[in-house]
Chain A
Amino acid sequence: MNAIELDHVTKIYRRYSGRQFATLKSALLQRSILRDLTASETFPALTDVSFTVPKGSTYGVIGRNGSGKSTALKLVAGITKATSGSVKVEGRISALIELGAGFHPEISGRENVFINGIMLGLTKSQIQERFDDIVDFAELREFIDAPVKTYSSGMYMRLGFAVAIHVDPDVLLVDEVLAVGDEGFTHKCLDKFAEFRRRNKTILLVTHSLGLVERFCDEAVWIDEGRVMGHGDPKRMVDAYLTAVEKGEEQLLATTTAKAVEAARKGDGDRPHPVDGVAPGHARGAGSSDDGSEADGQGAPTETAADGETQLQNMFEATEGRWGSREIEITDVTLIDHAGEPSFVFHSGESMSVRVTVNAHAAISDFVFGIGLFNAEGVCCYGTNTYLEEMTPVKIEGTVQATFAIERLDLVEGTYKLDVAVHKRDGFPYDYHRLLYTFRVKSRTHDAGIYRPPHRWSFEGRVEFTDEVDKLT
């Protein structure tokens, strides 16, 4: 038997003439009353959505922001009506959509519990019976007679949650409300959900917490842009969703990078090349930190010190940019994933290659290729160059492709930026691309730090683990 059935549901939101608040005055003046009250624009929030939730199951709804998850929940709750299609729900519903939505700030928590309970469909005597449970659950015994306006937001939410959960519904709708309390309260909520499951109640859970969906749900549906992308096993859905998110991220990173490169190109054209200056990168440049002192001694004509200084400052601010004399010019930087495809999203432990295409406008004998890897906080995770690795330059001419291949990208999850540079041995830059290239590292393990050394655990003695993911107790 199904507790919830959505059958080809479409919900079209209407926009009323694209105005915020119309005034009757302007409506009368422009004789647009009828037009204003009829919708002019429409916006499909859900298109042909069908899914069924069997009685007694816990069902997850996942998707990006604005994908229509909450609209689906509101339709199930009956707060809004479907434009077409049918929504069927068996049994009493309680919706944890906005906690404490009906609270009146001026009156006491006690009175609010009663009124909120009545709003949610309980009778006075039913609330009386459950009152103590509600107050204990919310951990508000001392404050229950104080006006709700004196509550902290956490207390407010807790009381709202406590009332809603004690309505004892057959179908519980939860919209991203688990983040209302401290750790202890969250556990209590999860325990309560688990109790619901045991008692064969139906739960519809809308959340961005994918771990919760995997651990907790029997089934899940993935909605994107108002359409069902798939439903079934929660693990499979979460994986499918994550893959799609990665694709989206990849596009975003691609445009960010393209913009950064473009902006750097333009900005560079405006200001004089520090041709005679010291490579700003020489102090902490692309892996050239060792020969930094050397470079200091050799270069740095004083007349351009100021210019160098501002750029040095730039560098410490870790702003992106590009500079150099361009005798050797970096024309393209591409990140390649393990499958040999250009990409911006990588998985921890997979391989990554940085392919740098340069164009040497004349034959040059003094050149170094350098690479620097920075995390989002600006910490240099790794930096190296050809000179440090004892590759003495002889000659470069014409278009050259240099590939820096990392066999295993053992970084923790996060966003990283790349420095790519071609410079002289003393640090004088030909073309320095600072933090222009962004990529993301993804990981199933949420470990901490910067670097994940290849590792394994071993134990001696009586220790037991299971592969199963920690289900809720």
Chain B
Amino acid sequence: MLSNLAKLIRYRGLIQSLVARELKARYRGSVLGFLWSFINPLLLLSIYTFVFTVVLPNRNPIAQPYAVFMFCGILPWNWFSSSLMEASGSLVAGGNLIKKVLFPAEILPIVNVLANMVHYFLGLLILVAFLVGYRHWPDPAGLAWFPVVVLVQLIFTTGLALFLSALTVHYRDIRDLLSNLLMFWFFATPIIYPWQDDNVRQYKWLFDLNPFTHIAVSYQEILFFPGPVGHAKWLLALGAASIVIFLGGYWFFDRLRDSFAEAV
């Protein structure tokens, strides 16, 4: 396991250029190119804003301005869900590399997670623009927690991505199951409704079981609510759990590694 981690560090140059390639290739041949990275979240934002401020207005005063509140949770969720969707198919799609080139297979799902992280960061620029536009200032002290929550999410997502990518080699329907599961998971996470809502608090213990609750709530506390970051305790606990998930996912991946070249 340690040697595997060391190998990952050795391959950082490769990971770096593959992430760059992934980003370049995604918008190659489209007119707007990299602007899509902004346009997608903007469109999403305007739809959700319209639905939840005009059609089904969310009147909880704590979550105003609502568009900004929701955006704090949706951006990391997009990072999370697209990473898992892409990573789950990554080994099958990259079968040629695994079978024909001496290539550490775990790089493929990791590249997916990282490329989506870059997208997330680009999306953050829009969030910043909105924060400035609404003159809604988060607590500067809380911002120190931002790298922590990103790191926790990165480890958590990578662990799941490794696990899912290895399993998808053997069960091709994981992708379909996953897209349904992610939809359910999205609505079960306090992203489009505030965690502090009384109706939500009734089921607090249930929400506590959902790891992404803690990530989403942490982002909201850091970027949206005026400090302090009360969820830090949960976040650190999830961080510890994420390391376990990551190691477990990596172990599982490693166990199935030899079967990839044959089963892909």
Contact = CB atoms under 8 A, between A and B. Distances in A.
A405 interface: no
Interface stretch (A115-123, A189-197, A313-321, A394-402): A115-123
A95 B259 contact: no
Given A39-B259, A79-B98, 15 more contacts: A14-B259, A23-B173, A27-B171, A79-B100, A80-B261, A81-B258, A93-B102, A101-B100, A102-B96, A102-B101, A107-B21, A115-B18, A115-B21, A119-B103, A123-B13
B170 A37 contact: yes
A276 interface: no
A81 B21 CA distance: 29
20 contacts: A14-B262, A21-B172, A23-B173, A24-B171, A27-B171, A37-B170, A79-B102, A80-B258, A80-B262, A93-B102, A101-B101, A102-B97, A102-B101, A104-B21, A106-B29, A107-B28, A111-B21, A114-B17, A118-B13, A118-B17
A80 B263 CA distance: 12
B177 A24 contact: yes
Nearest to B177: A24
Contacts of A25: 173, 177
B173 A98 contact: no
Interface in A81-105: 81, 93, 95, 97-98, 101-102, 104
A292 interface: no
- Kindly state the interface size class of chain B when it binds its partner: 20 to 34
B103 A111 contact: no
Nearest to B25: A106
A218 interface: no
Which of B17, B18, B170, B256 has the most chain A CB atoms closer than 10 A to its own CB? B170
B13 A124 contact: yes
Nearest to A94: B102
Interface string A129-158: 000000000000000000100000000000
B14 interface: yes
B24 interface: yes
Interface in A3-32: 13-14, 16, 21-25, 27
B259 A16 contact: yes
Majority secondary structure of chain B interface residues (helix, strand, loop or mixed): helix
Interface in A407-433: none
B171 A106 contact: no
Given A16-B263, A107-B28, A79 B99 contact: yes
Interface in B2-31: 13-14, 17-18, 21, 24-25, 28-29
Given A80-B261, A111-B21, A22 B28 contact: no
B261 to A, nearest CB: 5
Interface in B211-264: 256, 258-259, 261-263
A24 B97 CA distance: 25
Interface string A24-64: 11010000000011010000000000000000000000000
A25 B102 CA distance: 33
B97 A101 contact: yes
Interface residues of A, number: 36
A79 B101 contact: yes
Interface string A54-77: 000000000000000000001001
B97 to A, nearest CB: 5
B26 to A, nearest CB: 8
Interface string B61-105: 000000000000000000000000000000000001111111100
A22 B261 contact: no
A24 B173 contact: yes
B174 interface: yes
A25 B172 CA distance: 10
A248 interface: no
A107 B102 CA distance: 22
B25 A118 contact: no
A104 B24 CA distance: 11
A75 to B, nearest CB: 11
A115 B103 CA distance: 12
Select the residue from B24, B28, B167, B258 with max chain A CB neighbours within 10 A: B28
Contacts of A342: none
Given A101-B96, A104-B25, A115-B18, A16 B102 contact: no
B14 A118 contact: yes
Contacts of A119: 14, 97, 101, 103
Contacts of B24: 106-107, 111
Interface string A223-255: 000000000000000000000000000000000
A98 B96 CA distance: 8
A14 B263 CA distance: 9
Given A14-B259, A78-B102, A95-B101, A24 B25 contact: no
Nearest to B171: A24
Contacts of B259: 14, 16, 39
Contacts of B103: 102, 119
B17 to A, nearest CB: 5
Contacts of A97: 100-101
Contacts of A37: 170, 256
A107 B23 CA distance: 10
A147 B25 CA distance: 10
Nearest to B261: A80
Given A21-B172, A24-B174, A79-B261, A107 B25 contact: yes
B257 to A, nearest CB: 9
Contacts of A124: 13, 17
Given A23-B172, A95-B102, A13 B14 contact: no
Contacts of B256: 37
A42 B102 CA distance: 24
B70 to A, nearest CB: 32
A106 B17 CA distance: 15
A36 to B, nearest CB: 7
Interface in B157-178: 167, 170-174, 177
B262 A13 contact: yes
A185 B1 CA distance: 44
Contacts of A118: 13-14, 17
Interface string A197-211: 000000000000000
A147 to B, nearest CB: 7
Contacts of A21: 171-172
